[in-house]
Amino acid sequence: MAKKLEGTPWQDGFRMPGEFEEHEGCWMIWPERTDNWRLGAKPAQQAFVKVAEAIAKYEKVTMCVSARQYEVARQYLSPHIRVVELSSNDAWMRDVGPTFVVNDQGEVRGIDWRFNAWGGLLDGAYFPWDKDDQIARKVCDMENIDYYTLEDFVLEGGAIHTDGEGTAIVTEACLLHESRNPHMNKAEIENTLKMYLGVEKILWLPNGIYLDETNEHVDNIIHYCKPGVIVLAWTDDVTDPQYPLSKAAYDYLSQEVDAKGRKLQIHKLHIPNPILITKQESEGVDRVPSTLPRNAGDRQAASYANFYIANHGIILPLFNDPIHDSKAIEQLEAIFPEREVVGIYAREIILGGGNIHCITQQQPKRMTKQSFQ
């Protein structure tokens, strides 16, 4: 059984690797709740299948699924995708799964942050979230990976990006939001991130993507592609509410250096034309009081930066945008010449409030034997 660890990753010589470092595999959760995913979650399930199959070309994929949907998921997914039974409240593995850290000997450990559904009773997306809050530990247990638990620090995996070389990027909008850790000031939050992610420098973007229901997670506005190189969600339309948010991030990052003293290379990745929920889509969602409404005309926080970096592939959300889809593919092919860029039509995922990065969590490659004893 995996052990709960004392101390911090920093004290023990562990750091969170960049997503571009080698993976053991990827974790996902099967979407099911009909008050978030339209039409009984069937269209979302098909989109998740496409994402899982695309990633499985490059690394091992584990799909976690409730007992109720186990046979359904097993039937839709190829035999080389592992399907395990696990309870959850929804399907956002990036945010509820463990954040993995590694040391120089290639050992892997997990971090189990507190999860409160992106804001608890203040502005969270649903209640309850108790099953989601247990997932990080359960994943570590399944993998026999020892883990650190923070009893009193709320964080989601989508709220952090690291370069694996001492730098993390976060947003103030999310990390300093009163619905996360109101008992801590910025310096205390920064210190906790340094101790657990094993980094020396935190870069604080003011905001993320307009109307992002996570309080503006960093993983929707930027992505670390390699140390010193990021993509930034951008718009040339100065009248778009996203413009000042992306401009502020660009200005801030342009005058900063990372932990190694490097200026960042910033690639602007234009957002798609606004994705608005249609009347038909809205009517397909079961309305209940304890979840977010999905109203016709609502704009979803769509961005191409929400891609997943697999071992030799990039799994990129597409929106059937006549201009920006192909431009995003072209840019990412140039930034990642050693990886294949695979676009997946992701409207059904963004309708649920996130995208491909939000529904996946990478597990770094283990270089040492940490086997079941």
Interface positions with ligand KQY (CB under 6 A): 36, 92, 94-95, 125, 158, 213-214, 217, 292, 352-354, 358
Residue 188 to residue 65: CA distance in whole angstroms: 36
Residue 16 to residue 202: CA distance in whole angstroms: 13
SS3 content of the chain, % helix, strand, coil (to 5): 30, 25, 45
Kindly state the smallest distance separating residue 158's Cβ from ligand KQY, in Å. 4
- The one catalytic residue in 26, 140, 174, 358 is 358
Q: Which is nearer to ligand KQY, 17 or 352 (CB)?
A: 352
Q: Which is nearer to ligand KQY, 84 or 292 (CB)?
A: 292
Q: Which is nearer to ligand KQY, 98 or 352 (CB)?
A: 352
Whether 174 is catalytic: no
> Taking CA 74 as the corner, what is the angle to CA 309 and CA 47, rounded to the nearest 5 degrees?
45
Which residue type sits at 64? C
Q: Which is nearer to ligand KQY, 10 or 126 (CB)?
A: 126
Between the CA atoms of 271, 342, 357 and 37, what dihedral angle is there, to the nearest 10 degrees?
Answer: 90
Kindly state the smallest distance separating residue 291's Cβ from ligand KQY, in Å. 7
User: What backbone torsions phi and psi does residue 320 show, to the nearest 5 degrees?
Assistant: 60, 35
Kindly state the smallest distance separating residue 110's Cβ from ligand KQY, in Å. 18
A 10 A CB-CB count for 172 gives 16
Kindly state the smallest distance separating residue 94's Cβ from ligand KQY, in Å. 5
Whether the bond into 98 is cis, omega within 30 of 0: no
Give the residue numbers annotated as catalytic, written as ranges. 358
